[in-house]
Amino acid sequence: MKFSKIIMSVLCVALFLNMQCDDDGMSLPESNCAGFTVIDSFTYANSATSPYSINSVSINGDCLVIDVSASGCDGNTWEMQLIDSGSVSESNPPQRNVKFFLINTEDCLAVVDRARSFDLTSLQIEGENEIIINVDDYSDPVIYTY
């Protein structure tokens, strides 16, 4: 009886140690961009953004660079996201629709310009080497070649 209690104790300790977290289980891919593009149709359709205006949009390698203006103190507390609609328009080349979201809690009257880059590699389509990216509230589409 004593021997079976020891075996059960050792088994419980072994199971407990086996359930410890591994830090290397989830990691973000390496990127030269400041942020990542999220593919989420619900967020794309339903999220609210602070007011802003897009000054320019450009591609730099695998990064989409968006330069925006909004009211604020210095823009250091702004949270910026790029959300993809999750759908691909079947054209040649294919097209994807993205929205830029800004969360701005700064209460200053100055107009601040900030640029942010977003990694586009999650938007690549297998079998293609080029897609058109339509940025909501920006008139010109950009071509992403990879």
- Taken in order of first residue, the domains within the chain and their CATH numbers are 29-145 (2.60.40.2370)
For residue range 63-107, what is the model confidence (pLDDT) as tens digits? 999 999 999 999 999 999 999 999 999 899 999 999 999 999 999
Burial of 94 (0-12, 13-18, 19+ CB in 10 A): middle
**Which two structure tokens, joined as six digits, stand for 14?**
């072994």
Rounded distance between C-alpha atoms, residue 15 and residue 9, angstroms: 10
For residue range 25-37, what is the model confidence (pLDDT) as tens digits? 544 457 789 999 9
What's the whole-number mean pLDDT along residues 42-64?
96
pLDDT of residue 17: 46
For residue range 112-140, what is the model confidence (pLDDT) as tens digits? 999 999 999 999 999 999 999 999 999 99
